[in-house]
Amino acid sequence: MRRTENVILAAMLAASLVGPSPATATEPDADADLREALRTQGEIIQQLRDELGRVREDQRRNEDRVRALEDQEVNDPTSGVDADYVDRRIEQFQHADESRLFLSGYAKAEFRDVLNDGPSTFDVQFNPIFHFRLTDKLHFNAELEFELDDGGETEIELEFATIDYLATDWLTLSAGKFLTPFNVFGPKIHPTWINKMASRPVIYDKNGGVTGVLSDVGIMASGGTEIWSEDSKWNYAVYLTNGAIGEEDGVLEFENTPDADHDKAFGGRLGFLPIPNLEVGFSGQTGKSRDQGRYNLIGADFWYSLAGFELRSEYSRAETDRDRWGYYVQGAYDLGEHVRETTGLMGMLGRMEPVVRWGETMGAGPNRQQVAVGLAYWLYPSVPLKFTYELNSGGVQNDRFFLQVGYGF
């Protein structure tokens, strides 16, 4: 018994030394699982932390990119926009329909001294020109003239009022009252901001001229085309109007009165520019005046310019029962052609344009001769300050001095 007990105790002791008891073998397995679970959880948490870091980094980069795009959009409004679309919209905006009425015109303020005990006076004139664009091809143009008579009362005249239809590139049809296309001074040069002298050439003077600045009521066809190259062209105008009313002291007069004898005046002008700086023109009109029967008007004009020098000349002849004719020649030299400074004394010199004009009239009525010298000082391309001195002989016109500011707008 003792021997058996000793054997059993020895066996138990040996077992305890060799392996755990069934009770202690269960706890280490649970710890391991727990540790494994904890390790796994830790890995997962770390992965999540890493992922969160990457997300935050991406978010930061995206925010930087958005800021960069916003800055780019401020500096370059075209980014991301179709270029052709924006070009078209800009062009449409630039040429969008605005008012179809446009006001231009000219004016003058002058001091006029008739020498040799004649009167001296300040004078003013205002000529607004209304342009109304009905359509691209249909325009209305009208000019009023406001001036003071000898009594200081305001006189208002309708200088012209036409409706113009631009039928083709070479033909415009006009109806209404228009500046008669006879020579060029009347229809083109007489406005105060264009005429380099403060007075009209002698052939257009109310005292002892051939005609005045002609205007009449009727219909006209006009236009121009290139000839053998873009450097050469011709222009034309043909018209039917009411015609003259008569002549006084040899000067043919047009007062735009109704045509009582059903005999319209017919006339025209043909201009030829073989080179850009040379123009010659021929004008004519025939009709029957209200008071004095048939008349014919004949005219010729010439213009040439080179290196700042300009030469202009016109001839007029009025054939009634008493013929009258005359001419003028005008030369001008634009110092601005050679003086490019815009400030200082040289700048002042560059704005000056000395002018000299010679003319005479003869035939029925008093014969006149005139020499005029002048200086146009261009305050602006459409604002000349003009000094003009006329030496007149023959007729009833004394020598005259003018100081005039012309203004074109």
Among 157, 140, 365, CA closest to 256: 157
Site for another protein in 282-321 (CB under 8 A): 286, 303, 305, 307
Minimum separation from the CB atom of position 296 to another protein (A): 10
In the complex, least distance from residue 102 CB atom to another protein, rounded to whole angstroms = 4
Query: Counting contacts by CB under 8 A, is residue 194 touching another protein?
Result: yes
- Residue 94 in the binding site for another protein (CB under 8 A): yes
Q: Minimum distance between the CB of residue 259 and another protein, rounded to whole angstroms?
A: 11
Number of residues binding to another protein, judged by CB under 8 A: 72
| Adjacent-strand bridge partners of 380 | 383
Rounded to the nearest angstrom, the gap between the alpha carbon of residue 305 and the centroid of all alpha carbons in its chain is 24
Stretch that binds another protein, among 15-23, 136-144, 252-260, 396-404 (CB under 8 A): 136-144
Q: If binding is defined by CB under 8 A, does position 1 make contact with another protein?
A: no
CA angle 56, 59, 65 (to 5 degrees): 145
Point out which span in 149-157, 217-225, 325-333, 356-364 binds another protein (CB under 8 A): 217-225
> Residue by residue, what is the 3-state secondary structure of 298-329?
EEEEEEEEECCEEEEEEEEEEECCCCEEEEEE
Exactly one of 171, 298, 371, 375 binds another protein (CB under 8 A); which one?
171
SS3 for 77?
coil
Place of tokens 């796994």: 40
What residues from 226 to 285 belong to the interface with another protein (CB under 8 A)? 226, 230-231, 233, 235-238, 240, 263-264, 266, 271, 276-277, 279
Minimum Å distance from CB 373 to another protein?
20
Residue 275 to residue 148: CA distance in whole angstroms: 42
Site for another protein in 378-397 (CB under 8 A): 378, 381-382
* Cα dihedral 13, 14, 20, 23 sign: negative
Burial code (b: 16+ CB inside 10 Å, e: under 16) for 199-228 equals bbbbbbbeebbbbbbbbbbbebebbbeeee
State which residue, 116 or 135, has the beta carbon closest to another protein: 135
Q: Which stretch binds another protein (CB under 8 A): 26-34, 76-84, 120-128, 148-156?
A: 76-84
131 lines the binding site for another protein (CB under 8 A): yes
Q: Token digits for 127?
A: 């000529």
CA distances 291 to 91, 217, 259, 294, Å, are 58, 18, 11, 9
> Is residue 337 within the footprint of another protein (CB under 8 A)?
yes
Token pair for 209: 């001229």
Q: Of these, 168, 206, 341, 396, which contacts another protein (CB under 8 A)?
A: 168
Burial of 5 by CB count in 10 Å (0-12 exposed, 13-18 middle, 19+ buried)? Answer: exposed
Q: Which of residues 12-51 bind another protein (CB under 8 A)?
A: none
Site residues (CB under 8 A) for another protein, limited to 96-115: 96-100, 102, 104
Pick from 12, 90, 346, 379: which binds another protein (CB under 8 A)? 90
Q: Are 363 and 322 in contact (CB under 8 A)?
A: yes
